[in-house]
């Protein structure tokens, strides 16, 4: 099976290998997308982990700040996937058989799933504080998913770091 896939991708691999400008551009796009997306996400995660809001406005502001970053992070994730596919298919024989590569892909999948969870949780938080003027976390009328949002931020921070680390290991193995 690996031989068949490698044979199908060989024209792309040859083209990629023969055009250094293309290979440089693809690698640069991958690294730039990681830098921008990961940097924005880690910055937002850090702000969320350090935040201790106590009013509806503060909760709303924290969730809105996180929400504002997601568009650029998602665009960066698209760039990461497209450029990553171009990189991996240029040397399919190496990547398809690499356990480190598949560990990176598994970690990346966890990062994406965590991002979905984070988006759902931030939406819940925004709905919970939408029309609230007085905040009583202990009160029965308002249940905030703040702890779940902070857990997702911590997981996001760690997963971005692990994906980057595994990417460096893959590139050097």
**49 near 151, Cβ under 8 Å?**
no
Question: Mean pLDDT for the chain?
Answer: 88
- Separation between Cα atoms, residue 137 and residue 140, nearest integer Å: 8
* Confidence label for 56 from pLDDT (cuts 50, 70 and 90): confident
Say which range, 46-60, 74-88, 97-111, 140-154, has the weakest mean pLDDT.
140-154
- Going 74 to 76 to 82 to 86, the CA torsion angle's sign is negative
Determine what percent of the chain is predicted with pLDDT higher than 90. 61
């Amino acid at each position: 099976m690996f031989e068949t896939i490698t044979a199908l991708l060989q024209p792309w691999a040859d083209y990629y290998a023969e055009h250094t400008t293309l290979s440089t551009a693809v690698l640069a796009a991958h690294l730039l997308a990681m830098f921008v997306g990961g940097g924005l996400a880690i910055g937002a995660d850090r702000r969320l982990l350090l935040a201790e809001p106590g009013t509806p406005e503060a909760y709303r502001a924290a969730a809105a700040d996180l929400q504002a970053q997601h568009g650029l992070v998602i665009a960066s994730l698209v760039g990461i996937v497209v450029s990553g596919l171009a990189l991996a298919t240029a040397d399919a024989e190496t990547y398809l058989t690499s356990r480190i590569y598949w560990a990176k892909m598994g970690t990346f999948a966890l990062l994406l799933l965590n991002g979905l969870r984070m988006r759902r949780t931030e939406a819940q938080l925004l709905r919970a504080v939408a029309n609230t003027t007085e905040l009583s976390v202990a009160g029965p009328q308002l249940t905030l998913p703040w702890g779940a949002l902070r857990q997702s931020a911590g997981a996001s921070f760690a997963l971005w770091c692990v994906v980057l680390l595994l990417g460096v290991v893959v590139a050097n193995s």
